[in-house]
Amino acid sequence: SQNLTLAELGTWLRRASTLLAEASGHLNELDAAIGDADHGSNMRRGFAAVEAALDAGEFPDVAALMKKVGMTLVSSVGGASGPLYGTFFLRLGTSQAGETELGADALLAALEAGVEGIAQRGRAVAGEKTMLDAWLPALEAYREELDDLESPASPAEGTDALVTGRRALAAAVDAGARAAAEGRDATEPLQASKGRASYLGERSIGHIDPGAASTAILWQALREVLA
Ligand code: ADP
Ligand code: MG
Ligand code: MG
């Protein structure tokens, strides 16, 4: 298929689990500086539970799969990130009821629904030094890449140059992943005003936000699935 299939969504989650487990020490260190040093352990435990749920169940559509993922994260991750990532996957799923694969536009809509869920649940906006500071620029870059591909800037490029289907999906996700990593790095000079790190006030400045770092890992995993 040109689209991201249910099986590939499963591959994404499994790859994310592997990368999060590899990064868990680093994510704990980031959280040690401005929180309680458990973000890597939280993500590792949550995604190990997601992998077990994938092994145990059959999922007829995107909504069923993502509902399971979201509920698994909510129930297995203590701390702020469990309900936030849990809400992300739940909303991503409900936005795609009945679908069994996602094209580039549908994936964008799904990710937007998920991120809106994070913002509502966390009552956070851009610039508060949270995972949203990776999610929001990633979505913007994805959207821009898709716009550019769908309407080539110069007529000389013509319709032959229109990049569609799988290549558009891969290019948009690649742009999103790059922007997520940049967003993660750009949290360093910010002062936290949400979550545990906000208790530090100005002392939260000068450290990368752990949740923004795990969000960049989710994007990296998705990019690898499409590469
Ligand atoms: P806890 O802080 O409860 O120990 P984690 O360490 O697992 O939970 O997750 C911390 C991350 O959660 C932060 O780095 C930040 O990215 C994210 N976070 C915390 N509060 C919020 C919020 N209100 N909105 C969005 N993201 C948040
Ligand atoms: Mg923590
Ligand atoms: Mg904690």
Q: Evaluate: CB of 114 within 6 angstroms of ligand 1.
A: no
**CATH code, domain carrying 215:** 1.25.40.340
Instruction: Give the model's pLDDT for residue 151.
Output: 77
Instruction: Give the model's pLDDT for residue 130.
Output: 98
As residues whose CB is below 5 A from the ion ligand 2, the structure lists: 31, 35-36, 38-39
Q: How far apart are CA 135 and CA 218, in angstroms?
A: 10
20 pLDDT higher than 60: yes
Q: Evaluate: CB of 82 within 6 angstroms of ligand 1.
A: no
ipTM score of complex: 0.99
Q: How far is CA 217 from the centre of its chain?
A: 8
DSSP bridge partners of 102 = 4
Cβ neighbours of residue 38 closer than 8 Å, sequence gap 6 or more: 28, 31, 78, 79
Residue 64 alpha carbon to ligand 1 centre in Å: 26
Per-residue pLDDT of 165-192, as tens digits, reads 899 999 999 999 999 999 999 999 999 9
Q: Evaluate: CB of 34 within 6 angstroms of ligand 1.
A: no
161 pLDDT higher than 60: no
The pair of structure tokens assigned to 44 is 């590792």
The pair of structure tokens assigned to 28 is 């704990």
- Across the range 211-218, mean pLDDT stands at 98
- For residue 28, the enclosing domain spans 4-226
Per-residue pLDDT of 39-58, as tens digits, reads 999 999 999 999 999 999 99
Which of 84, 208, 218 most suits a substitution to test ligand 1, by most atoms within 8 Å of the C-beta?
A: 84
Per-residue pLDDT of 80-130, as tens digits, reads 999 999 999 999 999 999 999 999 999 999 999 999 999 999 999 999 999
Run of H or E residues at 132: helix 132-150
Instruction: Write the Ramachandran bin of 157: left for phi over 0, alpha for psi from -120 to 50, otherwise beta.
Output: alpha
Environment class of 90 (CB within 10 Å of its CB; exposed 0-12, middle 13-18, buried 19+): buried
How many structural domains comprise the chain?
1
